Amino acid sequence: MKILVTGGAGFIGANFVYYMLEKHPEDDIVCLDALTYAGNLETLEKALKNSKFKFVRGDIADRATVNELFAAEKFDVVVNFAAESHVDRSILNPEIFLVTNVLGTQVLLDAAKEYGAARYHQVSTDEVYGDLPLDRPDLFFTEETPIHTSSPYSASKAAADLLTLAYYRTYNLPVTISRCSNNYGPYHFPEKLIPLMIANALNDKPLPVYGEGKNVRDWLYVTDHCRAIDLIIRGGKVGEVYNIGGHNEKANIDVVKLILKELGKGEELITYVTDRKGHDMRYAIDPTKIHNELGWLPETSFDTGIKQTVKWYLDNRTWWENIISGEYMDYYKKMYEGR
Ligand code: NAD
Ligand code: TYD
């Protein structure tokens, strides 16, 4: 099979590239990535040495580039990870989220329809369901939960999901969609909660916890997400949505305290800062469908995963130090200074 992985120089896309090269050495992987602030070719250094892997720099919203690539490569499967992915950035500047996440998805859907692909898979998020209240631990997101978005990021991801389903219904394009909970693991860009807290703690900088730190996220180790997508593109039913999550809900403050403990740092580094606008309270996935239909279950517990992740950041200091010394510094100032 020849598989197009868009956004493969980002966090989950890169983990997916490595997962697939190892699990399916017979497949060819082409990565299309614009290398925005979140994309990093260093992340793909090892993959670039593999003859079954090819990197192409390009924007998914650039129709000419995308069409040329589809015409030349004749992909069997398209997996679209490429996106603007950070909620806080979407609050500062929503427009690029619409261009990449909505129009970019439409360009890819058109190309898959025009040049033919046995499967188009859209990587989506549980954030399209909005949030759940903290006092109803019995409630979970199922695939039937109505779309009810909060941030410009989640609104753009929901729009892309609806377009993807429209291309199935209208043009019979063989699509699938996965909606996963929060991921963590190697190569996670240090603007997101877990890597940001690890990097700040290692630099003895304050750990900025939004609001009271009570918001709950349902954390999944990134390789478990990659394995789920692989199962869906091979065995998932066309036209269907699959939720992915491992019943691992944690309040932000507990995650931050656990990271400090792993690093042997004191809790005095924790600083409560002004809350995020429109901050979603709780995400929690019901993964019954993917478990029953495809036999998927998470394999990495949070205890193991967070230890592995902390170790990875300790062992790969240059990777994240290069990132936080560049454009990131301006972003960090804008987002956190005086907050
Ligand atoms: P990321 O921000 O780390 O990486 C995004 C990648 O997409 C980068 O390599 C970037 O260069 C590339 N990209 C951005 N705009 C592009 C464009 N116009 N054309 C081509 N490439 C472009 O994101 P991530 O955390 O790896 O998330 C990947 C996907 O998974 C996203 O679609 C996101 O919505 C979804 N998702 C993420 C999580 C999570 O916890 N991180 C959870 C569920 C779903
Ligand atoms: P994030 O990693 O941005 O993922 P998402 O908002 O998509 O779930 O944030 C995870 C949680 O951590 C979210 O409730 C916001 C919170 N958070 C902080 O408290 N401080 C921070 O500096 C960041 C980046 C996030």
| Residue 175 confidence (pLDDT) | 98
Number of the ligand 1 atom closest to the C-alpha atom of 189: 3
Number of CB atoms found within 10 A of residue 235's CB: 12
Ligand having the closest approach to the CA of 105: 1
Candidate from 181, 248, 252 with most ligand 2 atoms within 8 A of CB, to mutate: 252
Measured CA to CA, the distance from residue 64 to residue 69 in angstroms comes to 9
Query: How many helices (H) and strands (E) would you count in the chain?
Result: 13, 13
Model confidence over 244-287: pLDDT tens digits?
999 999 999 999 999 999 999 999 999 999 999 999 999 999 99
Candidate from 125, 193, 282, 339 with most ligand 2 atoms within 8 A of CB, to mutate: 193
Asked if 48 contacts 14 with a C-beta cutoff of 8 angstroms, the reply is no
Model confidence over 153-175: pLDDT tens digits?
999 999 999 999 999 999 999 99
Q: List the catalytic residue out of 153, 184, 283, 328.
A: 153
Task: Work out the average pLDDT over 87-102.
Answer: 98
pTM more than 0.95: yes
- Residue whose token pair is 């199922």: 142
Candidate from 6, 18, 81 with most ligand 1 atoms within 8 A of CB, to mutate: 81
Q: Is the CB of 7 under 6 A from ligand 1?
A: yes
- Residue whose token pair is 């963590």: 184
Is 131 designated active site?
Answer: no
Is 127 designated active site?
Answer: yes
| Residue 225 confidence (pLDDT) | 98
Ligand having the closest approach to the CA of 217: 2
User: In the structure, what pLDDT confidence band is assigned to residue 326 with cuts at 50, 70 and 90?
Assistant: confident
Residue 98 alpha carbon to ligand 1 centre in Å: 14
Q: Is the CB of 193 under 6 A from ligand 2?
A: yes
Is 135 designated active site?
Answer: no
In total, the chain counts a number of residues equal to 339
